[in-house]
Every structure is written in structure tokens, then in C-alpha cells.
Structure 1
Amino acid sequence: MRNSKTRLSKAGLAIFIVRCVNVFAAPCQSIQRAHKTLNPYPGKPRLTFKRDGTFKLTVFSDLHFGENPWDEWGPKQDVNSLALMDTVLADEKPDHVYVLGLCSFVIFLLLTFLHGLRVLNGDLITGENTFKENSTSLIDEIVGPLNKAKIPFSSTHGNHDNQVNITHAEEIQREQEVSPFSYTRAAPQGVGGDLGPGNYWVPRSYIDSAPVLVLWFFDSRGGFSPGPNSVPVPDWVDASVADWIVSETRDMERAWGSADSRAAVAFVHIPPHAIQVLQSTLDPEKNPGMNADTLGNGSVQDSRAKDMDKAFWDALNANVKNLHAVISGHDHGNEWCAREPTKDVIFCFDKHSGYGGYDSAGWGHGVRNLLFRTPDPKAGVETWIRLQEGETRARVILDDDYGR
């Protein structure tokens, strides 16, 4: 009997140990599973800083391809815009390119073999001027130079990319079809609201299997719904994106550890509504750069209903740590950066890159550059406007001291 009890005791002890191991191992296994699955680009190369520890991001915004295809003026502007892209890419040799908008079709490019990346930040196409049968073919034209150079890229979309003959979803699908270098993707179903699928993030620069920089892309929608019964589309980031931000950042912490160990930059075509009040407080010394567009009346996100983008704005600033800046296009006459005091976050405008879209004498065309000098997530980021001819202006350091 004693031996039997001893055997049972040993068996019970073994079961107890196994259960304890399972209890303590479960969180580790969960983290390991999250780490393995938290890679939205399993078939693509990981993006890294250069060997010298730097990373340069170039943002093309508001290219507005496809205007007036029925006359000589429109196609000529596309030729001019492509010339600007060729010049800037050759001169700047960025590590990442972001294109904010086809009209709002943002193509952000990553030059893999140079650790490069370029961004197109919205309004890549002026969708209301295109024809149904060839609207998406303009994407072929835009990504052509990137395919030729074998540059990975991604895109965001804006109000001119949702029109009677084109939608954000169609542009995303076309981009994926015609370019193996595209890093653009759509959010899970139910995230982004009607006609706002372009919400996603891209991990950048891995150290010990975890990224030190995450680039966030948000879909501010706008424009009009497709088809004969077209109606206006809300021009703000949908409230459903707020819960998605919370869940994505939670998964990142489970997979990669504390959010304090990585930095972030966010891109959205139409500026958040909270930015509108900043314009009256600008100081040309502290906030250099052209300030020629008055915000409001459709020139800021949530233009038709105050606070409709509040859920997104609150979630972004509460959950994304070390957020160096939120960057928008849409307002072609603005170039400045300023700190939004309520959330203590820096906001910057891009530079109007395309020759399409509204313009004014003396505004010029160019890009915004961002230079990371170190993978340190808390280090300041240098940014400036570069014009097509090579002139630079509005150079500032986005750090804890900026705008205070």
C-alpha cells in the first residue's frame, strides 16, 4: 500500500509538474506564435537601415495623374510629374519612398538593394477625369519607373481616388497585379468603413528579429462612390480603424516587446481635424515652409462633421509610441510642421509633387524628405522640403524640443 501511495504521489507530482510547465510555457508559446505570424510580408525581404545606421524616406504627394485626358494639357502634366520623380529619385537616392495619393494614391517605394524606400502620399490619380475602361492603367504608368528600378513600394489613397470610375480598392488590386515590388495591402474586412480599405502598417529595420520602426498608413476616404448613383464619401478615417489600431499594437507588443523599443511615422492623405487650429499659431521661425492654403472647407479631414475622426485620432496617439510625426498631403500650398499640443504630436504637410491638381504661381513642385540618423527610436528625425530643381527649405529636427 505504501508503495502504491508512493507511486500515485510520484505520478501526481509528474502531472503537477507537466501542468505547471504548460501554464508557464503557454504565454511563451503564444508570444512565439505571434512573432511567427506577425509578418504581413512573409514572401518579401525585410527592410533595414543602411550599414551606417541611417534611413532616408522621401514622400511624393498629390501626383494627380490622369487629368484632362481629352486634350494636350493633361498628358503633358503626367510627363512633367514623371520627370520630377526621375530627377528626385536619381538625386536623393532615398531608402524609402512614400507616395501620398494617386489622387490620394500613395506609393511608397523601398529600394531594397540600397536599403531604400520611397513614398507616394495620396492623390496619385484625378479619378473624376478618367474613363472607366482605363482608370487603373494610370497605376501602370506610375509604378513603371519603380518596377524598372526594382524598387519595393506601397501606397495610400485619397479623395480623388474614390470617384465614379475608380475606387481605392481597385487601385490597390491593380498595383498588386502589375508590380511584384508593391508593399501596399488592404485592411481586414470591416476596418476602414465604406470605400476606405487602405489601412495597414509596414515594419522597418529589424534588430534581433523585431523592427525598430513601423510605418503606418491610413485611409481618409473622401471623394464619391462609384456607379451611376454616386454619392459623397465621408472624408475622414473611419471610427472602425480605432479598434484595429488597439488590436494591432497589442499584437506587436506580444510579438516584439515594449512599444518603447520602436519608433513610428504615420501617413494619411487628408489632415486630421485637430490640425486645423494650428494654422493660426504658426511662427515662421519655428514652423518654416510655405503656408498658402487656408485649412477648412474641405481642406482638412472630417471637413463635414467635427470630431468624426476623433476615435481614430485618439487611438493613434494613445497606442502608437515614439510617433515622430503624422504626415499629410491634400493641401497643395502648405509645407509646414507644427506640434499639436493636445496630443503632443508633431504634424507635417508634404510638398505638392505632381503637376496635376490645383496650383499657383511660385509654389513649385517637390518632395518631403525625412532622415533617420540612427535606429534609436527616441532620436530626432531631420526633415526638409526639396524642390525639383534641387533647392531645399523648411529644414527642422522632429524631436522632443520641436514646437515647444
Structure 2
Amino acid sequence: MAVRSDDRTTRRPEANNFKIALFADLHFGEESWTEWGRRQDSNSLRVMSIVLDKEQPDFVIYLGDVITANNIMIKNASLYWDEAVSPTRDRGIPWSTVFGNHDDAPFEWPLEWFSQITGIPQLHCPPSKGDEECSFRGTTRLELMKNEIRQNTLSYSKIGPKTLWPSVSNYLLKLSSSTDSEAAIAFFYFFDSGGGSYPQIISNSQVKWFQNKSKEVNPDSRVPEIVFWHIPSETFKKVAPKLDKLKNCIGSIFLEDVAAQEAEMGIMRVLEERPSIKAVFVGHNHGLDWCCPYKKLWLCFARHTGYGGYGKWSRGARILEINEKPFSLKTWIRMEDGHLHSEVLLSS
């Protein structure tokens, strides 16, 4: 099988199965002016490298909060973004990205920078960066996406239609058959769930975009569809398991409440009513890694992959495996120490 974009395809078309690694909440560049921050980025690179070498995925999805832009003070935050995707790129594995709430967040001045004597903060540029490269303007979603696409032939990310809002990481990829490159095995939909420079929502215009796009490529809902975004919807709160009642949920950490989008604009209602939707995958909550059944689909959190961001839980990555004949969608979590757990069949 192979992922297809408008004008290109991934390799390994002869395989009957297709494996995807989800890297969520890496938070590169967090406290970038400190030794702690640089160490966290190094640790995150190690986690991704271990997962990639053990799982040998065909594709990687960066599920938002690739960087902590509110801690990055250089003109081009893409330097940190580029470092974050380097383990995947260096192994020749194609990938795609969606945005999280920290990826283009405005810079936040640390209080400890303010001198009690002068009251004037000192610049804390990253190592090897001169003062002239320091900037607190930030890097927009559009700039980040353009830089990723322009600099990486392995990136399958796309800039969304200008009519959408949030507009940047809304796009569709097709997983094609091993025997017929035009035949679809599954469709992957990517949404920008806001945050940073946008409200934390999936807007009504995005809902309409999905309805039109899905009707165009999969009018009879015959082909399975899988959805990816960063911030969970309100529906995730409805199915969230309690400590005394897991509700048939599969996972290993259930240690915080769901931090959902600011409002529900209709995306879940549309997904619930569409029989071809098999699962929705999100990040954002570092202390959750569960998959819960909801009506005829599954709602799943990834696993916190990066050492940046809050929480001291062990790091890892959610893995998806799609089989073509017969179709099935299975997922599990691969940990940094090599341990595998929480395997569940989501569709068959």
C-alpha cells in the first residue's frame, strides 16, 4: 500500500499492510534558553529514534505541538521544527503534520528575565544565534508549513484552502491499494483544531469542507476514513473513562480530565453520522493515552512523545496498522523502553 498526494506517492506499494507512527506533543524549543530545554529536545529525539527503529513504520504523523513557540525567540521557529522531524527524515520515512495550540503561540516573557535593578530583560538567544536573529514576533502557521514543504521532499503536509479558518493544516491523503494505485484503501483527513493564533475550535467552515471533500472522493462511504487533529472535541469528555469505570476503553494512563476545544461547531455530529469514519486521533492531553468506543467509531488519544511539555509520565508513541485484505485497523502504544501495550482492534 502507499499514501498518495495530488502528484506523488510513498513507496513499498507491494505490501498488504501499512504502519503509521503518531508523534504527539514534542514541544521542541521549550525553555530553549536553558540547558534543561536543550536536554529535553535531545531526549525527544531519542524517543522518536527508538520507536522508528523498533516499529519500522511506513509513515509518520506529527499530531500537533511540534514546538513550543511561546518559548522560542528566533525569527524562524522552523529551525526547531526541522530538528523535530529529523529522525523521520533521516530514515527516509515520509510524514505529514497538523498544528497544535503551541506551534505558533506568541512569545511569553519569563518573569525571571526581568532584572530587579534595571527592569530591562536581557536577550537570551539560543546557542550560536546572534542577537540580530532574536525576535519575539513568532513564526506563523503558514510560514511553518511553507518551510516544511519547501525544505522536505518527504513531507506530505499541505496548506489548506484559503477559504477555511483555521486554514493551514486541513487536507486529505489517500492510502492506495497494493494492486491498483487508483483504488483507495482508506482516506486520511487532517484538521487544524486551532489554538495559538486561533480560537481552539474546528470551525463550521472546516465542517463544510469535510462534507464536500468526503462527498467528492468517497460519495458512497464505501472506503474507510480516519481523522487526525490535535485538541480533542467536547465528545471526548463525554466518553472519558473514570477511574472506577473504564467503559470498554483501552489504555494505560487515565490521569487527567480531557481539555477540550472551546466550542463544538458540528464536526462530531457529521463524523458520527458517516458510517465510513473508523477513528479520530488527537493529542494535547499528555496524561491520557486511551481509545474509547463511541457509537460506531473510536476516539483515541496518542501517547505523549516529547520530553517537552508538562507531565512526568513515560514517553512513547501510538502506532496504527492498516491491513488491506481484509481491511482492518489496529493500534497499540510503543514505549521508549521498547514495551508494547494497549493493543486494540478498532475496525475489521
TM over 0.5, shorter chain: yes
- Counterpart of 1:249 in structure 2: which amino acid? S
State yes or no: 1:138 paired with 2:80: yes
Contact 1:329–1:350 (Cα < 8 Å) also in 2: yes
TM-score by length of 1: 0.72
Which of 1 and 2 has greater Rg? 1
| Residues 227-265 of structure 1, C-alpha deviations (whole Å, 9 max, x = no match) | xxxxxx310111101111121112214xxx6321x2121
Counterpart selection for 1:287 from 249, 258, 273: 249
From 351, 356, 365, give the equivalent of 2:308.
356
Structure 1: distance between partners of 2:142 and 2:267: 21
Distance 1:271 1:49, change over 3 A: farther
Q: Is the 8 A contact 1:242 1:316 kept in 2?
A: no
- Quick one: structure 1 residues 69 and 252, their matched pair in 2 at CA, closer, same or farther if it must change by over 3 Å? same
| Number of the residue aligned with 1:374 | 324
Equivalent positions of 1:5-404 (< 5 A) are: 40-42=5-7, 44-45=8-9, 50-51=14-15, 53-94=16-57, 116-164=58-106, 165-193=138-166, 196-206=167-177, 208=180, 209-223=182-196, 225=197, 233-253=198-218, 258-260=220-222, 262-280=223-241, 283-284=245-246, 286-289=248-251, 290-295=253-258, 299-302=259-262, 308-319=263-274, 321-341=275-295, 344-360=296-312, 363-376=313-326, 379-399=327-347
Q: CA deviation at 1:50?
A: 4.8
| In structure 2, distance between residues paired with 1:372 and 1:335 | 20
The alignment-based identity, stated in percent, is 31
Task: Find the aligned partners of 2:6 and 2:176 in 1 and give their Cα distance.
Answer: 14
How far did 1:184 drift? 0.3
Provide the C-alpha distance between the structure 2 equivalents of 1:380 and 1:210, rounded to a whole number of angstroms.
Answer: 16
Aligned partner letter, 1:315: V
Q: Which amino acid aligns with 2:33?
A: W
Structure showing the higher helix proportion among its residues: 1
Closer/same/farther in 2, CA of residues 372 and 147 from structure 1, 3 Å limit = closer
Question: Does the Cα contact within 8 Å between 1:47 and 1:203 map onto a contact in 2?
Answer: no
Residues 332 and 351 of structure 1 are in contact (CA less than 8 Å); yes or no, is this contact kept in structure 2? yes
Distance between the aligned counterparts of 1:203 and 1:159, measured in 2? Answer: 26
Displacement of 1:384: 1.2
- The answer to whether the 8 Å contact 1:162/1:221 transfers is no
Gaps of 5+ in 2: 107-137
Cross-structure match for 2:119: none
Do the aligned partners of residues 315 and 357 (structure 1) sit closer, same or farther apart at CA in structure 2, a change above 3 Å counting?
Answer: same
| Unaligned ranges ≥5, structure 1 | 1-38, 95-115, 226-232, 303-307
SS of the aligned residue for 2:318 comes to: strand
AA matched with 2:249: N
- Inter-partner Cα distance in structure 1 for 2:233 and 2:36: 33
Q: Which amino acid aligns with 1:180?
A: T
Maintained 8 Å contact 2:193/2:202: yes
* Separation in 1, partners of 2:205, 2:276: 23
Asked if 2 retains the 8 angstrom alpha-carbon contact of 1:275 and 1:340, the reply is: no
Native 8 Å contact 2:52 2:88 kept in 1 = no
Report the RMSD for the aligned CA atoms in angstroms. 2.1
CA contact (8 A) 2:248 2:293 kept: no
Contact 2:250 2:292 in 1 (8 A): no
Give the whole-Å Cα distance in 2 for the aligned partners of 1:314 and 1:137. Answer: 38
Partner residue in 2 for 1:230: none
Residues 148-204 of structure 1: per-residue CA shift (max 9 Å, x gap)? 3222211011100121213322211110121111100011111133xx421111111
The separation in 1 between residues aligned to 2:101 and 2:277, in whole angstroms, is 25
Contact preservation (8 Å) 2:175, 2:184: yes
Deviations 1:42-71 (A, max 9, x none): 1x22566653x1111111110010011111
CA distance in 2, matches of 1:40, 1:373: 20
Q: Which amino acid aligns with 1:332?
A: H
Instruction: Give how far 1:375 is off.
Output: 4.2
Alignment length (residue pairs): 310
Which residue identity is paired with 2:215? R
